[in-house]
Amino acid sequence: MSPKEEWFEKQKTEMLTRRRRVVFNNDGGDAVLGAPDLALPRDFLNIRTTALQGSHVDTISYSTASGFGTCTHASDVFQTLIRSEGRFANTAIPKLLEQGTDSLGVMVEYCKDNGLEIFWSMRMNDTHDSSRAEWFKQNRFKSNHPQYLLGTDNDRPMNGGWSAVNYGCEQIRDMAVRFIREVCEKYDIDGVELDFFRHPVFFTQTSRGRPVGDEEREQMTDLMRRIAAVIGEEGRARGRPFIVAVRAPDDVDYCGTIGLEIERWMQEGLIDVYIPSAYIQLNDWEYSIQLGHRYGVQVYPGLSESRVGGGHHADCLRASDECYRARALTAWTAGADGIYLFNLFDPHRRIWGEMGEPDVLGRLNKIYFASVRGVGRVAGGAYPHEHFQSIPTVSPDAPMVLDSGARETIRIHIGENPAVLSDKKPEIKLCLKIRPTPMETGALTVVFNGREVCGEACEEWLEHAISPNYVRRGVNTVEICCHDEHEGLALADIMVAFNYSGSLLQDNSYIRRTRERM
């Protein structure tokens, strides 16, 4: 290795060891909100960015690829998308262009001026235009080249949006490489995030309900080699490396089934950062963290919004700060290198200044669920994932039938050990939601970590007081036995609430604002 190459690799190592407590994914919606009174770029930044100053957000990953072939920054490869009608008619993009800049340029400048790291996020196959006819019509590339798509509006695929592009076509792979190269040439970004989760159908095989074959996997891996080579070449040309991040499902076999050889990419040194999970979570965080660390890849668990109960943030408890704190602390406990947030856009929420440091999270109120996501469903559709799921899925969307006399055991991860606290310990409650309600408290025997606990009915929950001495940092078990004389019961939810302040969930007005910002 030449001295110049050694210096370049040293720079790459220094960049990777930079502290990234929280990575905030901004989907670029601030560029298409259509507010008519924006005095850009200041007001553009005020929508989602400036309020994050002083928080734990060290890196912003900014998305501009709003559908393959279109983007919200100035580009000669993709079409710069300007919508003039409808809910998402935008004023920010043309106003920025008039001032000689664009959404990505403003974000890069802001981050450089404020000591933040800036990644550019490319959604590899976004299909929002499958459900919005006017968006598809505005995408000239897709409209003019239907032969590159996985379906049509009248002939929809089994899995995924019909407007998804087919990565089996060489033209699509070539265009993706040119687009990525252009961004690396034009913008002083620190890293490139390749988002394979929005949306994860890339080939004809999976769109028709079949696993991909070796040919498709090799096509995608060859694409990753080309992308890594281009990013490396552009980094050397500017004298500073780029970090390569990949957002993908959290299971090697599922990734391989849809064409993503995630472990091979790690083995070949094609990626630096792995962001596992989004709409679905298939394994405990330890699975992904151990996988990445085996190959020297950093792992940032993706805490996307829960869609249990319906749309974005539909379940108030799962959308609460208390739940996000618990999810973050669980990821830190598993060995995460940092936390990645997706589809959470209110910059005023307290958790932006809490989730990045385990010591801060330690004595804050939290709610741990056995399953935050439930079975999960990928937006836009995807190849079925249930066969690959190895973690609990019990939730209001997927209740567990309690057979009379049978004993069910559910795992729940907890990120703290309150027994070691020398001062005030939290009030802890194990809460079970049983259907139908109301029900008799004596219908069940409940055992937490080997100790039988007694419950009392409280609205739609059965609440069981738990001693801090019963709780383990890591995996905890809840055993539930339905007595023989009771039939037709189902466990709809299970959570453990930690109340340090005595005011758990007394204020959740911020959840309404969060929904409004979606």
With respect to residue 479, please indicate whether it lies within any of the assigned structural domains: no
With respect to residue 457, please indicate whether it lies within any of the assigned structural domains: no
**Bridge partners, 419 (sequence order):** none
* H-helix or E-strand spanning residue 110: helix 103-113
With respect to residue 93, please indicate whether it lies within any of the assigned structural domains: yes
With respect to residue 409, please indicate whether it lies within any of the assigned structural domains: no
- Mean pLDDT, rounded, for 392-412: 94
CB atoms within 10 A of CB 458: 10
- Could you read off the pLDDT of 453-500 as tens digits, one per residue? 999 998 889 999 999 999 999 999 999 999 877 778 999 999 999 999
> Running DSSP on this structure, what letter comes out for residue 28?
S
- Mean pLDDT, rounded, for 195-209: 95
**Is 206 strand, coil or helix?**
helix
Q: What is the pLDDT of residue 92?
A: 79
Confidence of residue 170 (pLDDT cuts 50, 70, 90): very high
- Could you read off the pLDDT of 405-448 as tens digits, one per residue? 889 999 999 999 999 887 889 999 999 999 987 566 778 999 99
With respect to residue 350, please indicate whether it lies within any of the assigned structural domains: yes
Judge whether 453 and 447 are in contact, CB under 8 Å.
yes
Q: What is the pLDDT of residue 89?
A: 64
Judge whether 395 and 492 are in contact, CB under 8 Å.
yes
Q: What is the pLDDT of residue 406?
A: 87
With respect to residue 87, please indicate whether it lies within any of the assigned structural domains: yes
- pLDDT at residue 38 tops 70: no
Task: Say how far apart CA 205 and CA 217 lie, in whole Å.
Answer: 11
With respect to residue 367, please indicate whether it lies within any of the assigned structural domains: yes
Q: What is the CATH number of the domain that holds 136?
A: 3.20.20.80
- Could you read off the pLDDT of 223-258 as tens digits, one per residue? 999 999 999 999 999 999 999 999 999 999 999 999
Q: What is the pLDDT of residue 103?
A: 93
Looking at 106-120, 364-378, 499-513, which range is the least confident one? 499-513
- pLDDT at residue 35 tops 70: no
Q: What is the pLDDT of residue 439?
A: 66
Token pair for 257: 């089934």
- φ, ψ at 118 (rounded to 5°): -125, 120
- Mean pLDDT, rounded, for 318-333: 97
With respect to residue 86, please indicate whether it lies within any of the assigned structural domains: yes
Range of the domain at 243: 20-388
Domain count across the chain: 1
